[in-house]
Amino acid sequence: MPALDPILADIDRDLDTSLERLFAFLRIPSISTDPAYAAECRRAAEWLRADLSAIGFNASLRETGGHPVVLAHLPKPGAPHVLFYGHYDVQPVDPLDLWETPPFEPRLVTLPDGRRAISARGACDDKGQVMTFIEACRAWQAMQGELPVGVTILIEGAEENGSKHLPEWVAANRDELKADLALVCDTGMWDSATPAITTSLRGLAYFEVFVRCADRDLHSGLFGGAAANPIHVLSRIIADLHDDQGRVTLPGFYDAVREPPAEVLERWRALNLTPENFLGPIGLSRSAGERDRMLIEQVQSRPTCDANGIIGGYTGEGTKTVIAGQASAKISFRLVEDQDPEAVAASFSDFVRARVPEDCSVEIVTHKGSRALALPFDMPALGAARHALEAEWGVAPVTIGSGGSIPIVGDFKRSLGLDTLLIGFGLDDDRVHSPNEKYDLQSFHKGMRSWARILAALAG
């Protein structure tokens, strides 16, 4: 095994040009959910293909039915082989007027506490995280002419749009994706000084509810007091979804939820994550969740429900005395192991329909769901990654459960038989999916160094 120092030194030396490459990637507005940006998605894929080819990968675009996948191979006979996953698409940018600088004009900014950060849509999720890994590969190639392990890189373009075509594509390309381990970078650190390895992921069930009452918008002066108001119907549904103890009221919702083992609860208790600590940085101080649970349970091991969006009636400036004909809401559930998204969908449908007046109608659109996933605590790769991260950061990484869902991890297990190591360098204040998304410069820099070390550690 070659010495790591020259590789780490190359990463340090090359930081500015690494940033230039990332900025070029960030300038491409590859918003996957909006068909108007389809060509930009392809342009982002093409940019990645060219960059990976330049450092020696055999890279190509592969059609999926949606935005193309970038697939790149750099095998190393006799060594372990890893499959790295990320995505080149980004979230929409609205509301645009809340961005302090244009979302697709990346720049370095200094945060109020003095940290330096890369500001742009996708800076963290996931272009920054993807390039953190690719730059580590580049340094290895530059200094050693080879990687310590065989690597396949799979970067998709529809993660923010539910990865509709990916599971099928992965299953169909099983042979070409063969590996010993999957790596996924779409996760975060414990805090800006402490790296983390994510070992469990919550699942997701996501619904859109359209309540339709009158067949047109009505004047409240004429019809108020008689006509059903879809905003009232929807508000009742959302309000009823939680009781006054913060529990989700959907029948059967907690049936399949298991308690974490006593030793895990003990370890969590020792972390002493208080609402003030966890919520203080976002301007809150009290948990709105289940009253009888620790905060770390609320966000890691307990299933949750949130209305993610609602719209109905007049939402412009000033007043309009209208009773809307329709109102809609997006409502999603974070699931934990053994909860079945389809069972949640059935229960939710009954719950909603029971609250819609007979002469009104409701349409429930079910977006992609995913089961929760727990990774084996005894994976050998876990220990190797843990040591590599500790060497870089000077503190042992925390092993965490993530509230987010990364459905591809389940597909890797089912279709390819692969366990996944989830390591990323995002921070809670990265404003992922929000205006002014950022990625700490330290996350990028020490993240590249971390991946360079992890690749070496995985060589065994």
Residue 411 sits at the vertex; the CA angle it makes with 42 and 78, to the nearest 5 degrees, is 90
Q: Which of 141, 163, 287, 370 binds a second copy (CB under 8 A)?
A: 287
Q: Are 412 and 83 in contact (CB under 8 A)?
A: yes
- Looking up tokens 């995002």 gives 426
Q: Does 413 bind a second copy (CB under 8 A)?
A: no
Locate 270 and state its tokens.
């020792």
CA 24 to CA 40: how far, in whole Å?
A: 13
Q: Is 302 in the site for a second copy (CB under 8 A)?
A: yes
Q: How far apart are the first and last CA of the chain?
A: 9
In our burial notation (b when 16+ CB lie closer than 10 A, e otherwise), range 109-129 reads: beeeeebebbbbbbbbbbbbb
Report the residue from 202, 371, 438, 445 that binds a second copy according to the rule CB under 8 A: 202
Residues 410 and 201: their CA atoms lie apart, in Å, by 10
Residue of 144, 192, 220, 349 interacting with a second copy (CB under 8 A) = 220
For a second copy, give the closer residue by CB, 72 or 329: 329
Which residue, 180 or 217, has its beta carbon nearer to a second copy?
Answer: 217
User: Is 456 a binder of a second copy (CB under 8 A)?
Assistant: no
- What DSSP designation does 281 have? G
Q: Which 147-166 positions form the footprint of a second copy (CB under 8 A)? A: 161-162
Work out how close the CB of 42 gets to a second copy at its nearest, in angstroms, rounded to a whole number: 19
Whole-angstrom distance, CA of residue 351 vs CA of residue 347: 6
Q: How far apart are CA 32 and CA 69, in angstroms?
A: 12
Site for a second copy (CB under 8 A): which residue of 317, 354, 376, 378? 317
Range 265-284, binding a second copy (CB under 8 A)? 275, 278-279, 282-284
In the complex, the smallest distance separating the C-beta of residue 306 from a second copy, rounded to whole angstroms, is 5
Residues 88-117 touching a second copy, rule: CB under 8 A, are 91-92, 94
Nearest approach, Cβ of 104 to a second copy (angstroms)?
17
Q: Phi/psi of residue 375, each to 5°?
A: -95, 150
438 phi, psi to nearest 5 deg: -145, 170
Contact 257, 338 (CB under 8 A): yes
Q: Which of 29, 150, 157, 289 binds a second copy (CB under 8 A)?
A: 289
**Residue whose CB is less far from a second copy, 174 or 269:** 269
Task: Return the closest-CA partner of residue 324 out of 222, 218, 224.
Answer: 218
Name which of residues 45 to 84 contact a second copy (CB under 8 A).
Answer: none
- Candidates 62, 76, 178, 232: give the one binding a second copy (CB under 8 A): 232
x/- track of binding to a second copy for residues 164-193 (CB under 8 A): ------------------------x-----
For residue 316, state whether it binds a second copy (rule: CB under 8 A).
yes
